[in-house]
Amino acid sequence: MRTAVIIVAAGRGSRMGGALPKQWQSLAGKPVVAHALAAFAGMQVLLVIHPDDRGLAEGIGVPFVDGGATREASVLAGLRALEGSGVEAVLIHDGARPLVSRALIGRLVAALEEQDGAAPALPVTDALWRGVNGRVAGTVDRAGLFRAQTPQAFRFAPILAAHLAHQGGAADDVEVARAAGLDVAIVEGEENNLKLTYPGDFVRAEAILKGREMDVRIGNGYDVHAFCEGDHVWLCGVNVPHARGLLGHSDADVGMHALTDAIYGALAEGDIGRHFPPSEPQWKGAASHIFLSHAIGLARERGYRLGNCDVTLVCERPKIGPHALAMQAELARIMEVEAGRVSVKATTSERLGFTGREEGIAALATATLVRT
């Protein structure tokens, strides 16, 4: 399902104070909205802004449109901008929520496979009071009450129709959806997915980000494939002409296998064989990008992004240098990361061992995953 993201950043945030609206204020060295955007890396994103903030938005590097006088009007502006683009689902997120995780995004996207709408929320656990003139005037039963969060996820056509039909005054997009008769599933929210409203919220967000910076995982991968009859080899997703092929249950892409195992290793998820057993015939001759896509997708579901990776191919021939940049680009494309996070290089074993005797190719890989 083709999914787009609308990040609403057109508000003025008067309760926060400061010279800039809160979504443009600095948090850990970059604008709040930039942190929100980072969580959706690799997805189609549209930013909805206040017209006065165009100069700020131009430095962010994603498409943007002007919003309206209310949040509803801004969301509708974003939906209309996506209309006709082939988008089938949309996540609508507040630009002042900078700490949304990839795991939460994954839960929402998965929920849309069976639902018209889904939104994250946390059950209310504190006692609730009504107050009048600074005094407790009564209590409220908290049973069945939830604290709503964003992003809120919907099938595109129904939520566009709901916004077009709504008369205004909704607290969020779930209220708009329900007014149109749409069912909205509740998915588990996250305490850290806070909305910055008051100055003290920045202090808390800074502390959360500092803690995330420490959650770094490193994995290593190693793979070997023997030469066999053939006229080419697959290495890091690139078809390289050669006098021989590589023997394997799948396409024998030794470099991609090593990298896939490095990512699984960083997640403590075993190796390719655990997820794609060679005893199962459907993986016979399979393209290795299937394995790598699964591994990086699993990392994102767990709330990690690829910090960087490094693949070393060990062989006498074929010569890797002429193809290294293409391999780098292909691995980056498969993992939906910038090429600067991917390294592909080669070495020989100085004619020693099985690689030196040109009996096969070995590959080593290291991958670093960082909590988002």
For residue 114, the number of C-alpha atoms closer than 13 Å in the C-beta half-sphere is 6
- The domain locations on the chain are 3-212, 216-371
**CATH number attached to the domain at 216-371:** 3.30.1330.50
- Bridge partner list, 8: 48, 94
Q: What share of the chain is helix, strand, coil (3-state, %, to 5)?
A: 35, 30, 35
Structure tokens at 22: 């809160």
- Bridge partner list, 238: 235
3-class secondary structure, 73: helix
Task: Going residue by residue through the chain, which has 372 residues, state the pLDDT in tens, using 9 for 90 and above.
Answer: 899 999 999 987 666 666 788 999 999 889 999 999 998 988 999 999 999 999 999 988 899 999 999 999 999 999 999 999 999 999 999 999 999 998 899 999 999 999 999 999 999 999 999 999 999 999 999 999 999 999 999 999 999 999 999 998 899 999 999 999 999 999 999 999 999 998 999 999 998 888 776 789 999 999 999 999 999 999 999 999 999 999 988 899 999 999 999 999 999 999 999 999 988 888 888 999 999 999 999 999 888 999 999 999 999 999 999 999 999 999 999 999 999 999 999 999 999 999 999 999 999 999 999 987
> How far apart, in whole angstroms, are the C-alpha atoms of residue 95 and residue 150?
10
3-class secondary structure, 361: strand
**Which H or E run includes 107?**
helix 102-111
Q: Provide the sign of the torsion angle of the four alpha carbons 211, 332, 94, 150, taken in this order.
A: negative
Residue 285: phi, psi to the nearest 5? 75, 10
Fold classification of 3-212 is Spore Coat Polysaccharide Biosynthesis Protein SpsA; Chain A (3.90.550)
> How far apart, in whole angstroms, are the C-alpha atoms of residue 211 and residue 208?
5
Bond prior to 151 in cis (omega within 30° of 0): yes
> How far apart, in whole angstroms, are the C-alpha atoms of residue 231 and residue 221?
27
3-class secondary structure, 50: coil
